Amino acid sequence: MADDKWKDWDAGPVSRPYTLTGGRTRPRADRVYDLMDVVGHGGAVPDPAVLRPEQMRMVAVCSTPVTVADLASATDLPLGVLRILLADLVHDQVLEVRTPAAKTRLTDKNVLRQVLEGLQTL
């Protein structure tokens, strides 16, 4: 009975995040995926014998393009763990990640200046 305090029967089997990533705390790739980046299929056919169950869930969720934030929510994985597993799937070309076009256009200073001037005229 003394061991019962270490078990959470309602939560089911619990595994630590580092077991899902093989002990890694950072993705292999240099790129850090933003919450609004869009994830979709990369073209390579996933091999269920090689992928972990969490990665198979990620591939299934990405049958339609989804943001990194929505992928983390749908798979119920911590964001840090998801980014590491996602980097592995992108490396293996099972999934691909695209940056939204709007994110790159808003960095133009002229556009920001025009928006500011428009707000000041209101």
pLDDT at res. 94: 92
The answer to whether the CB of 58 falls within 8 A of the CB of 71 is yes
Residue 69 to residue 95: CA distance in whole angstroms: 15
> Among 31, 33, 81, 27, which residue's Cα sits nearest to residue 57?
81
Residue 96 to residue 83: CA distance in whole angstroms: 12
Q: Is residue 47 part of a domain?
A: yes
Per-block mean pLDDT, blocks of 10 residues, the chain (122 long): 54 60 66 89 82 89 93 90 89 89 63 86 84
Q: Is residue 11 part of a domain?
A: no
**Domain count for the chain:** 1
pLDDT at res. 25: 59
Q: Is residue 95 part of a domain?
A: yes
Q: Is residue 1 part of a domain?
A: no
Q: In what order do the strands lie in the sheet with 95-98?
A: 66-67, 38-41, 95-98
Alpha carbon dihedral 107, 112, 114, 116, in 10-degree steps, equals 170
The answer to whether the CB of 20 falls within 8 A of the CB of 72 is no
Q: Is residue 101 part of a domain?
A: yes
Which residue range is the domain that position 78 belongs to?
16-121
pTM of the model: 0.66
pLDDT in tens, 40-59: 988 788 888 888 888 899 99
> Among 50, 18, 43, 55, which residue's Cα sits nearest to residue 96?
43
